[in-house]
Amino acid sequence: MSGVATAVSVLVATCTFLTGAVIVGEAGVLSQRAAAAADAAALAAADAVTGVIPGDPCVRAGDVAAANGAVVDWCAVSGAVATVVVHANRGILTAAARARAGPPG
């Protein structure tokens, strides 16, 4: 019976390790998704500020963030520079990201 107990212990340890690895991997993917959503939202807001696209900059940022699976937590415009903070959720995980966009210089 001790061989069975050892095998079960190894199986449980392996499953626990793999579950942790999957969660860490998912957290990394979610973080990148939030960063991409923040970048795109900031670019959309900056485009709205400069008149490239019509509409309110922060509304545009919210639309683009939502299309990328995120929610805008904060949006500010200073001159032609837009700054956006977003968060994305997946299950029990949450990732936040911040991005700025504006004309070069």
Question: How do residues 66-100 score in pLDDT, each as one tens digit?
Answer: 999 999 999 999 999 999 999 999 989 999 999 99
Token digits for 51? 């008149």
What is the spatial distance between Cα 69 and Cα 4, in angstroms, rounded to a whole number?
46
Domain ranges of the chain: 2-101
Looking at residue 1, its pLDDT comes to 63
Beta bridge partner(s), residue 71:
87
Whether the pLDDT of residue 50 is over 80: the answer is yes
- List the single range of 1-5, 28-32, 59-63 with lowest mean pLDDT: 1-5
* Percentage above 90 pLDDT, the chain: 67
Distance CA 63, CA 58 (A): 9
Query: From CA 9, how far away is CA 61, in angstroms rounded?
Result: 50
Residue 22 CA, distance from chain mean position: 17
Question: Which residue bears the tokens 């200073």?
Answer: 78
Task: For residue 99, give the DSSP letter.
Answer: E
Average pLDDT over residues 39-49: 96
For 3, residues 6+ apart whose C-beta sits below 8 A from its C-beta are none
- Please state the pTM of the whole predicted model: 0.81
Pick the more confident residue, 30 or 9. 30
